[in-house]
Amino acid sequence: MTLFSRLALKAAAIGVFYTATTLNMRPWLPLTTPSFAQEIDAAQTPVQQDVDALCTLVTEHYVYYETRKSVWEETCRRSRLRAAQKTAQTSAGHLALLEQMLDQLWDNHVSLDTHSAVSPRLVPSGSDYWIEFENGEALVKAVRRGSGAAKAGLQVGDEIISMNSVPVLAAATGRMRYGRTSVSAARLNWALNAQAAGYRGAPRNVSVRRGEETLKLALGKPWPTRPESTVTSTFLSGNTGYIRIEDSLGDRDTVAAFDAALEELREADGWIIDLRNTPGGGNTSVAEPIMGRFIRGVKKYQIAGPRWEGEPVRRVASRGDWRARGRVAVLVGRWTGSMGEGMAIGFDGLKRGRVYGSQMAQLAGGIESFPLPGSSYSVRFPTYNLMHVKGTDRHEWRPRYEVVADNGNGPDSALQAALDWVKR
């Protein structure tokens, strides 16, 4: 039986597997079944089959492969050797090896559909602060409101000195197993933030420098308390309607909840749409109807790039028996991910709102899911690029009105800036 045939059988068998496999799952596009030229080697162990398949999948389908090629080639060579070792034959060793391989793509939009009690947390959905390396310092640029980091007192502007008593650069290097002789700024920042999120079940203790003071903080669990509703809403000053989407862009009930919130705020003179709590992906069947309440007619809001085989221009149509008028401000930050990012560039491309906040999660491209032949796992990664209607890569696009978006327990300057404009 060819690998293609075996993958097809597995796809049919596990097609309903994705609904509740992990706590941190993102909604993805439908499962696809890739074609391979080689046959499965019956003499190989399941982990060896998965390593070989993963190496081929990434090489043939990952849209950003060329920028990772040299590191991935070394990763595959080393991983094939490790897959033959006894430690990789256990379930824990098998999963850990695949997770470590995916680390070498330094891409937060790449993951497996499962995890163990000691797996790395996903970024951004499993993270609560964001670091960037500047002038030799690992500086905190964002802290998720209500998170473990915020409750521990971590602040924007703090310098991270160490993580779990390991110097910060050494901690980051630990996630970059191969190709470390020449490391890009993007890869270093990925490693810093992957280590900041940490591993399930492991403590997260950091030493920080704040001015002349050095502090030790125990960060606890990263996730803020999840709101009971998919959408929260209220009136703000100036008769401004405020609607916040609560990590629910993959939940079809969100459209009805958004419509209900819009109806309650119908008399608003202007609007603030808060996308700062949308780290968990989502899909167009939720995002497009929401944007459709703010426009007239049919307009383009996003473009699909290389390797996309369908219509490259994505459009949104007006919807509902009335259209939300007045100014619209959209709030984004480091926990605005994937479809949340699509909505942000959509409102901007539609010329229907000002976007306030900071650089978003930078979850690049559009995701597809591929089953692995040696296990019940599937790997998910971007197979085509996504862009603003003006051609800027979605993950490189930045809000025109930049302000600190995720300030932990501090003042919400992004909300205030948006409110000042909307009610002007």
**Per-residue confidence in pLDDT tens, the chain, 424 aa:** 333 333 333 333 333 222 222 223 333 333 344 444 446 677 899 999 999 999 999 999 999 999 999 999 999 999 999 999 999 999 999 999 999 999 999 999 999 999 999 999 999 999 999 999 999 999 999 999 999 999 999 999 999 999 999 999 999 999 999 998 889 999 999 999 999 999 999 999 999 999 999 999 999 999 999 899 999 999 999 999 999 999 999 999 999 999 999 999 999 999 999 999 999 889 999 999 999 999 999 999 999 988 888 889 999 999 999 999 999 999 999 999 999 999 999 999 999 999 999 999 999 999 999 999 999 999 999 999 999 999 999 999 999 999 999 999 999 999 999 999 999 8
Residues 6+ apart with CB under 8 A from 308: 366, 384, 385
- The one-letter code for the residue type at 404 is V
* 327 burial via Cβ count (<10 Å: 0-12, 13-18, 19+): middle
Helix (H, G, I), strand (E, B) or coil at 244: strand
> Tokens 């999963």, residue?
95
Q: How far apart are the first and last CA of the chain?
A: 67
**Amino acid symbol at 99:** E
Distance of CA 348 to the CA centre of its chain: 20
Q: What single-letter amino acid sits at 37?
A: A
Report strand pairing: 298-304 vs 386-387: antiparallel
Candidates 346, 334, 330, 326; CA nearest to 386 is: 346
Short-list 173, 175, 15, CA closest to 101:
175
- In this structure, the strands spanning 327-332 and 354-357 are parallel
**Hey, which residues does 303 pair with through a beta bridge?**
313, 387
CB 155 within 8 A of CB 410: yes
- Helix 69-83 crosses helix 91-103 at what angle (to 10 degrees)? 170
Instruction: Specify the pLDDT at position 40.
Output: 67
β pairing state of 205-210 and 213-218: antiparallel
